Homo-oligomer: A and B are copies of this chain.
Amino acid sequence: MEYYSRHISNLVEQLAGLPGIGAKSAQRLAFHIMHMPKEQVGQLTAAIKDAREKVQYCKCCCTLTDQEICPICSNPSRDRQTIMVVENPRDLAAYEKTEKYEGVYHVLHGAISPMLGIGPEDIRLTELMQRLQGDVKEVIIATNSSLEGETTAMYISKLIKPSGIRVSRIASGVPVGGDLECIDEVTLLRALEGRVDL
């Protein structure tokens, strides 16, 4: 179906390979790019290349960063005795936006998922265990509240418990502002189990 130029078809194919972009959106994007000023196209391709080539994993917490050690790990005012374990840098950013957490992080880059064939050796667990050799008081597990996230949380807590370090899990329950009737049964039960005295 070579109705357009070979180059356009190739671009459409490449774009359609990205997550959340279907055949129609890929076509629309490709034609948008065709009509973009050349400098702007240069900026877009440079941004893609730079992000892929210049960004590295923080030697300490494994998040994505420009330097060897990320700004959070190198900030002397952060509490290094508390480590929050998250699945990916977006989750780290979500907690940073609260501006209340003062500890440091550890980014796993995934979660254990037997279904997808992702085992404990495929996520950054070795790096976490190495960090625990130092002076750490608490590990807060903030993996997602999904099957994979819960499995990972259980696995990590069993791994760390023998060392005597405190291991906690972020609370699961009704989101603030959430309407009870719109919330699934599992969350409602969790909220009930985790009730606190007033």
A interface residue numbers (CB < 8 A to B): 1-8, 10-11, 13-15, 18-21, 25, 27-34, 36, 38, 41, 43-45, 47-55, 63-66, 71, 88-90, 92-93, 96-97
Chain B residues lying within 8 Å of A88, measured Cβ to Cβ, are: 31
Q: How far is the CB of A30 from chain B (nearest CB, A)?
A: 7
Q: Which residue of B lies closest to A93 (CB)?
A: B3
B38 adjacent to A28 (CB under 8 Å): no
* Copies of this chain, count: 2
Q: Which residue of B lies closest to A18 (CB)?
A: B29
Interface residues of A: mostly helix, strand, loop or mixed?
helix
A48 adjacent to B33 (CB under 8 Å): yes
Chain B residues lying within 8 Å of A50, measured Cβ to Cβ, are: 7, 10-11
A25 vs B90: C-alpha distance in the bound complex, in angstroms? Answer: 12
A1 vs B65: C-alpha distance in the bound complex, in angstroms? Answer: 14
27 A–B contact pairs at CB < 8 A?
A3-B89, A4-B89, A4-B93, A5-B51, A5-B64, A7-B51, A7-B54, A8-B64, A10-B50, A11-B47, A13-B47, A14-B44, A18-B32, A18-B33, A19-B28, A19-B29, A20-B29, A21-B29, A31-B88, A31-B89, A31-B90, A34-B52, A34-B55, A36-B52, A41-B48, A41-B49, A41-B52
Q: How far is the CB of A69 from chain B (nearest CB, A)?
A: 12
Question: A5 touches which one: B44, B45, B55 (CB < 8 A)?
Answer: B55
B34 adjacent to A4 (CB under 8 Å): no
A-B CB proximity, top 8 nearest: A3-B93, A11-B51, A45-B45, A14-B47, A11-B47, A7-B51, A41-B52, A5-B66
B64 adjacent to A4 (CB under 8 Å): yes
